[in-house]
Amino acid sequence: MPLSDHEQRLLEQMERALYAEDPKFADSLRKTRGASMDRKRLVLGLGGAVAGLAILLAGVATSLPLVGVLGFLATVAGAFIAYNAFTAKSENSGAATEGSASPTAAPRKASSSDGFMDRLEDRWRRRRENPDQF
């Protein structure tokens, strides 16, 4: 069932408020899971992990601890690269979401040095002062 005009306006207003409140969170909601996966990194990471396991087994078979440690490190590095393939941002996704901000969105006042609770209290205070804006 399609949304009425009033419901669409409310939804757009809520979206603008969310984007103004926390742009990083809004961007994370816009991204799809499949688009954020980098297949080349995944294949590279899995290949590195398998090669690392092979080196680790070779180190155990030859009783050379240095080779075993290097194999373990290669396995961990490959697994780390494969894990990061799922969270890597594509080069075009940042450009697509930057221009989607509303021109009426208020800039974020909290700096990166503010603590989590300070930002939360500031948001709560702004909501209490301007209830019709949210």
Reported as a single tens digit per residue, the pLDDT across 12-70 is 888 888 888 888 877 777 765 544 678 899 999 999 999 999 999 999 999 999 999 99
Left if phi > 0, otherwise alpha if psi is -120 to 50, otherwise beta: which for 81? Answer: alpha
75 close to 52: Cβ distance less than 8 angstroms: yes
Please determine, for residue 8, whether its predicted confidence score (pLDDT) is greater than 90.
no
d(CA 123, CA 132): 14
Please give the pLDDT value at position 94: 45
